[in-house]
A and B are shown apart, each in its own frame.
Chain A
């Protein structure tokens, strides 16, 4: 079944069986392996992508459901020079990454959060990443990385501002 949609800003056509999930379409047919395959039942958030501006679990979306729609994956989230953007730099700086498996999903969820709330409260940040499990960090550093990004985007000192 041919599926036409916009992927990371580019018109894309891919031929997959109709019972393929969006997760496997991305990983197995387009080699976009930044989107991680975790639980495949919508619990862990490792497969998070942005569908028409909203964060979703790509394991719960059937590939034909994205026909004609906009999908952004972790490969589409980067700085103007193609390297890490400010949010991704903050993840590195805050020590918000250990094994790294949850990181793409976390960055995707945080990207949507920061688009929706310019200045999210800590509570809103925690809720924004509540669908993403991390078994290494204990979440504190991830919340800090997002808070640092919020402060810096507002022209305030990041890490220092949190101390």
Chain B
């Protein structure tokens, strides 16, 4: 499709500006003479462009804004800039040490090429139903710090995404970074994903799980967050309630899996994918709980 003399596909043309700070990006977005959209890694936006779904006349590039590009430890939390790529998260020692769940979620995304471009902020703000960082960030109780026209605000990631491709982010705002509390040293985490193939696949279902035991071997904390499952990415409290305060056993993880499936059906109703997901979700929950609480794996 690519002849000489310029792009062959007829697309609606648009302009480009590069922001050097969040405040500047917000100013660009607020400019009433343009319909602007944010561009970071482009792994979602450039696909829209190719499909001819160009609903903007200017892209504001935030992929190189310095305040959005770093990973650091601040007090008891890891702060991850919104324009940090999935590959950078996977390789970062602070993430590997304190938030292996997030590293696993980012590693499950796309291919090396996609992970080198796609950003964590883009994954959240694009709000795809299958976004792989969402269950991990919700499970880790991450908070987004957002720059708006009226100053800065914070919002738990679980409240940012309100449905497929819909967020509660204010108009003309930019997620600057995510503050992710470091779980206690005794916490164990797991991330599992089911796709049609191992790489470069859209999640059919994923699961982020985190928990730890108290001194007498009972579940002190457990968080179970399925991805690509319900319109909003949430902790499945009914599955968690099965485990909380109990000594983990085979029977208990099976009950938690069943409770998780029941909760899913209660939220989504019976959809075309339900017969599959109500078998797959309990299996994922059981597998994750076994890993987190040190029960033997079942093949």
Contacts and interface: CB of A to CB of B under 8 A. Distances in A.
Interface of A: 1, 17-21, 23-24, 27-29, 31, 37, 40-43, 45, 48, 51, 54-57, 59-62, 64-65, 67, 109, 112, 127-128, 130-132
Contact of A109 (B4, B18, B51, B112): B112
Contacts of A65: 39, 42, 61, 63
Given A18-B14, A64-B16, 11 more contacts: A17-B13, A19-B15, A27-B2, A41-B50, A55-B116, A56-B116, A57-B117, A62-B46, A64-B61, A109-B112, A131-B200
B2 to A, nearest CB: 4
B113 interface: yes
12 contacts: A1-B16, A17-B6, A17-B7, A19-B15, A20-B7, A21-B46, A40-B50, A45-B111, A51-B116, A55-B116, A131-B113, A132-B111
B50 A59 contact: yes
B112 A128 contact: yes
A42 B61 contact: no
B42 A19 contact: no
B114 A42 contact: yes
A23 B117 CA distance: 15
Contacts of A48: 113
Contacts of A55: 112-113, 116
B193 to A, nearest CB: 15
Interface in B1-26: 1-7, 11, 13-16, 18
A114 B16 CA distance: 35
Nearest to B59: A62
Interface string B169-212: 00000000000000000000000000000111000000000000
Contact of B113 (A18, A19, A27, A56): A56
A43 B200 CA distance: 7
A130 to B, nearest CB: 4
A28 B4 contact: yes
Contacts of B49: 19
Majority secondary structure of chain A interface residues (helix, strand, loop or mixed): mixed
B200 A60 contact: no
Given A18-B16, A19-B11, A43-B200, A57 B114 contact: yes
Interface in B49-108: 49-51, 59, 61, 63, 87
Contact of B13 (A19, A61, A132): A19
A56 B118 CA distance: 10
B200 A28 contact: no
A130 B199 contact: yes
Nearest to A21: B46
B35 interface: no
A28 B50 contact: no
B42 A62 contact: yes
A92 B111 CA distance: 25
B1 A59 contact: no
Contacts of B112: 55, 109, 112, 127-128, 130-131
What are the nearest 3 A-B pairs in CB distance? A131-B111, A18-B16, A130-B199
A117 to B, nearest CB: 12
A24 B7 contact: yes
Contacts of A24: 2, 6-7
A57 B114 CA distance: 7
Given A28-B7, A131-B200, A45 B113 contact: yes
Contact of B111 (A17, A64, A130): A130
Contacts of B87: 54
A62 B39 contact: yes
A60 B112 CA distance: 13
A57 B113 CA distance: 6
Contacts of A45: 111, 113
